[in-house]
Amino acid sequence: MSDHPHRFPDHAGQRVPEVSLRVRRNGEWATLTSDDLFAHKNVVVFSLPGAFTPTCSSTHLPRYNELAPAFKAAGIDAIVCASVNDPFVMEAWAKDQEAENVMLLPDGNGEFTRKMGLLVDKSDLNFGQRSWRYSMLVRDGVVEKMFIEPDQPGDPFVVSDADTMLAYLNPRAKKPDQVAILTREGCSFCAKAKRLLTEAGIAYAEVPLNHAVRSRVVGAITGAQTVPQVFINGRLIGNVEDLERHLKRAA
């Protein structure tokens, strides 16, 4: 049984549906079958109501993408995001989002979702038929575990998230650090800080600041007046010299 009472079937112990889906890859048409997706692989799948929608874009997809290294370390070969959208929309969403580690799968006709018993009517939002939100772990085409959102009004998002799935796979999994760096164009110290992060194998998000607001933004956020300023997991590390010391301690 699943963790929440609902009208949706839990497919744990069953094979995934046999489907053949048309997709877009690098501007060309291709066909993917269930075997292509799942045979001889450990795959995490999460499904959501629609591309470009708020929760899907701000939280659901980016967090799976961010935790991809931890999923890989836990033995996962691929992460698949399924949605009842056409291939062009999913291709565009992939380019728009933090999704380089996730395969976006267009279930344009709702065939896969319907066979999973998770197709719902969202006509009240002018969406038509869409997927209920869920995640599942599939090993060699067989569903091992499903996290299906509770049958409640709206669009609940409490159990199909990336952290819940990762905790199921490995409760002690090491999650990637969240790193951001404030920079300005032409700053040699910023370039050095980015190089240090890259050499340490640390992925980071760069926040370039324009001249008109740089000093006020840096001062308001960090109390300093110069860039770069590096943050790791919500903690201010500081400038390039502070970063060097931090990396040496962490080595």
The distance from CA 206 to its chain's CA centroid, rounded to whole angstroms, is: 19
Confidence of residue 185 (pLDDT cuts 50, 70, 90): very high
Over residues 172-180, the mean pLDDT reads 94
- Residue pair 181/36 in contact by the 8 Å Cβ criterion: no
Which residues are tagged catalytic? 56
Dihedral class, residue 183 (left if φ above 0, else alpha if ψ from -120 to 50, else beta): beta
- Alpha-carbon distance of 183 to 175, in angstroms, equals 25
Domains defined along the chain, listed by start: 20-169 (3.40.30.10), 179-250 (3.40.30.10)
Instruction: Give pLDDT, residue 2.
Output: 38
Count the Cβ atoms, other than its own, within 10 Å of residue 233.
10
- Alpha-carbon distance of 158 to 177, in angstroms, equals 23
Instruction: Give pLDDT, residue 77.
Output: 98
- The per-residue pLDDT for range 81-124, each reduced to its tens digit, is 999 999 999 999 999 997 999 999 999 999 999 999 999 999 88
Confidence of residue 4 (pLDDT cuts 50, 70, 90): very low
Strand partners, 24: 29
